[in-house]
Amino acid sequence: MKVVKEGAMTMVIKRGGLREGFNPDKLLNSLRLAGAPDPEYVLQEVIAQVKGKGEVYSSEISDIAQLVMLNLVSEDFRWHDAARNYLLFSV
């Protein structure tokens, strides 16, 4: 899937071609299920990195979320487990 800005609404285009409005709560829920120690922080980092881009593939969003979590492993090893879980959930 990819994120496409259409007017004020950011649209998510999934791999199958379906479109839906970007819902940050979905990403936040996935991060929580993965066990991210601070899912809101990861969400804000993802939003900051895709903001202003016309199109973003869902794999890019996933990659950004995982990299943010992996960059925090040195502070708290729970981020490693969360990144692994997030990857497994997204397959």
Q: How far is CA 26 from CA 29, 32, 46, 88, in A?
A: 5, 10, 13, 16
User: What does the block give as tokens for 53?
Assistant: 């881009």
pLDDT surpasses 50 at 5: no
Residue 72 has pLDDT above 80, yes or no: yes
Output the pLDDT for position 6.
Answer: 45
Q: Tell me the helix, strand and coil percentages in the chain, rounded to 5.
A: 55, 20, 25
pLDDT digits (tens, 9 = 90+) for 8-67: 456 777 788 787 777 789 999 999 999 999 999 999 999 888 777 777 788 888 899 999
Task: Compute the average pLDDT of residues 58-87.
Answer: 95
Closest CA to 15 of 46, 50, 56, 58: 58
Q: What is the pLDDT of residue 3?
A: 52
At residue 84, the pLDDT reads 97
- Whole-model pTM: value is 0.83
